[in-house]
């Protein structure tokens, strides 16, 4: 089977969030499951992607409104997976992927319309026609629209099926209706059953309607997004496609995220040498100028400073949290309001709180390894990688019971010794605090705590399991297209 995975970011080339981990890691894991699968990845060539080692494959033109844009396709093979890069420097040679802290780039509709059209020109350019194009998020939402319209009469394209993976329903690619002209789709697409969305155009809605199959990154989130509370306005569109909407939890890259051989951390350890984990805590606290103490647990948080990640309830309850016997280390980058708030709070609590405003993978690794607990009070969470990485590092997650967090973190029961973390259901500061207090209480019983750590470390959230499920979905789409 031939799969073309189209994404706006993929590790190790470009990353702002979990999507990059999925797009960069899934392909090699699919190959492990099925040696015959020919999977290739395509993404934009951003400023941060060096030309070194890239080979020019070809060039073509793409129409964006009244303009003709030159596109080069470059390529590189990584771990046996061909990666293709769509180069148009006026669109992609910028400091960031989607925008600055001031807001989104104003020409994002044109940028990702060009990307989507380029994805569909690739098969002809390299004479390789995939069975499935695996689209990801709004940036690739127009691909199935072009495929089913612009390419409707093209025999080589008629057997290509599409899967649209929704990593986060809140990001939809919403643009003013006039942008329809930049996409080269006619006004006949500006109707409720197509791209129109409250007077605007919506790229993700396009992906949902025109793809053969849909999935999101956890079972719980697949259900949640069909409700008014979490559907961000697309709930009815999603309900209409309920039969074809699946949930597949993400895996983590166990090569990168593994305390047994992680080069970024101070001291390696595994499930049989958990006592060595403490060395990481000692060293990190030293680096952060905080005194180590056996009895004071360290809570870590690594995540985007955004409305989604629960910084509002954390901010609301921080004064009470700071009264507890703990350290809190936050590493994040994102919305200025939260960055400013937490930078200010860090100066208020110099003996307990550290806030590092940065996107820093190295420090991220150190925090996962050093912390006793990992905090994810997300308002909503499609899948979440932080809690899965924490399990691997013997760090106990404290999470809001929502979406993927709900699918993966089972409340610890001190009587039965079962469970792997602490959860709170109601999204309120009081319940967050209650959950932290429960974790602290359990931490005081080190025998029980060790059991809890081991429960998490024994879980399997590798990509093998998720890759098997993606394979099944691809096969489903394959036979759907063959039987039509």
Nearer to ligand ADP, 185 or 302 (CB): 302
- Give contact residues for ligand ADP (rule: CB under 6 A): 17-18, 302-304, 331-333, 359-361, 364, 383-386
Shortest approach of ligand ADP to residue 381 CB, angstroms?
7
Q: Kindly tell me which of 185 and 357 has the beta carbon lying closer to ligand ADP.
A: 357
What does each C-alpha distance from 81 to 5, 88, 93, 444 come to in angstroms? Answer: 11, 23, 24, 48
In angstroms, what is the minimal distance from the CB of 303 to ligand ADP? 5
Alpha-carbon gap, residue 328 to 295, rounded angstroms: 14
Quick one: 123 or 403, whose CB is closer to ligand ADP? Answer: 403
Residue 465 or residue 476: which is nearer to ligand ADP going by CB? 465
Closest approach, Cβ 21 to ligand ADP, in A, equals 6
Q: From the CB of 482, what's the least distance to ligand ADP, in Å?
A: 34
Nearer to ligand ADP (CB atom), residue 202 or residue 408: 408
In angstroms, what is the minimal distance from the CB of 385 to ligand ADP?
Answer: 4
Smallest distance, ligand ADP to C-beta of residue 239, A: 24
Cβ neighbours for 340, distance < 8 A, ≥ 6 positions apart: none
- Nearer of residues 31 and 333 to ligand ADP, judged by Cβ: 333
Calpha distance 135→468 (Å, rounded):
18
Question: Is 316 or 361 the residue whose CB approaches ligand ADP more closely?
Answer: 361
* Nearest CB to ligand ADP, comparing residues 163 and 363: 363
> What count of Cα atoms within 13 Å lies in the side-chain half-sphere of residue 326?
27
Smallest separation, CB 72 to ligand ADP (Å): 29
CB of 389 to ligand ADP, least distance (A): 6
Q: Which is nearer to ligand ADP, 120 or 341 (CB)?
A: 341
> Are the C-beta atoms of residues 215 and 166 closer than 8 Å to each other?
yes
* Rounded least distance, CB 339 to ligand ADP, Å: 11
Least distance in Å: CB of 92 to ligand ADP? 21
C-beta closer to ligand ADP: residue 17 or 58: 17
Are 92 and 111 within 8 A, CB to CB?
Answer: yes
The backbone torsions φ and ψ at residue 156, rounded to the nearest 5 degrees and listed phi first, read -65, -20
């Amino acid at each position: 089977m031939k799969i073309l995975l189209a994404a706006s970011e993929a590790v190790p080339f470009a990353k702002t969030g979990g999507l990059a981990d999925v797009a960069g890691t899934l392909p090699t894991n699919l190959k492990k499951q099925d040696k015959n699968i020919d999977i290739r990845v395509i993404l934009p060539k951003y400023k941060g992607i060096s030309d070194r080692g890239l080979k020019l494959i070809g060039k073509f033109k793409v129409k964006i409104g009244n303009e003709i844009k030159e596109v080069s396709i470059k390529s590189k093979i990584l771990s046996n997976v061909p990666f293709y890069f769509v180069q148009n420097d006026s669109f992609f040679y910028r400091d960031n992927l989607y925008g600055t802290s001031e807001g989104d780039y104003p020409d994002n509709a044109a940028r990702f319309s060009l990307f989507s059209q380029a994805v569909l020109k690739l098969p002809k350019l390299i004479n390789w026609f995939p069975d499935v194009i695996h689209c990801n998020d709004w940036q690739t939402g127009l691909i199935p629209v072009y495929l089913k319209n612009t390419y409707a009469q093209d025999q080589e394209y008629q057997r290509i099926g599409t899967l649209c993976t929704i990593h986060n329903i809140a990001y939809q690619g919403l643009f003013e209706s006039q942008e329809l002209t930049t996409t080269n789709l006619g006004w006949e697409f500006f109707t409720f059953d197509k791209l129109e969305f409250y007077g605007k155009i919506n790229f993700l809605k396009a992906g949902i309607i025109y793809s053969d199959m849909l999935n999101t990154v956890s079972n719980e989130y697949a259900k949640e997004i069909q409700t008014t509370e979490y559907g961000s306005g697309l709930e009815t569109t999603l309900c209409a496609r309920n039969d074809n909407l699946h949930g597949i939890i993400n895996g983590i890259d166990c090569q990168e995220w593994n305390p047994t051989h992680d080069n970024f951390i101070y001291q390696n350890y595994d499930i049989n040498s958990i006592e060595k984990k403490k060395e990481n805590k000692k060293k990190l606290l030293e680096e952060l100028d905080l005194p180590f103490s056996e009895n004071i647990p360290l809570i870590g948080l690594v995540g985007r400073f955004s409305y989604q990640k629960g910084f509002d309830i954390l901010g609301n309850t921080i004064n009470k949290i700071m009264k507890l016997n703990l350290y809190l280390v936050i590493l994040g980058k994102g919305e200025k309001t939260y960055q400013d708030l937490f930078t200010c709070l860090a100066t208020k609590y110099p003996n307990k709180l550290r806030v590092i405003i940065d996107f820093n993978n190295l420090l991220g690794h150190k925090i996962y390894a050093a912390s006793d607990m990992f905090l994810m009070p997300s308002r909503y969470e499609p899948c979440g990688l932080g809690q899965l990485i924490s399990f691997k590092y013997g760090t106990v997650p404290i999470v809001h019971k929502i979406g993927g967090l709900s699918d993966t973190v089972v409340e610890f029961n001190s009587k039965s010794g079962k469970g792997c973390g602490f959860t709170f259901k109601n999204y309120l500061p009081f319940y967050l605090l209650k959950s932290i207090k429960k974790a602290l209480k359990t931490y005081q019983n080190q025998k029980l705590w060790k059991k809890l750590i081991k429960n998490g470390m024994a879980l399997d959230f590798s990509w093998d399991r998720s890759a098997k499920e993606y394979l099944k979905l691809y096969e489903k789409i394959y036979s759907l297209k063959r039987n039509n």
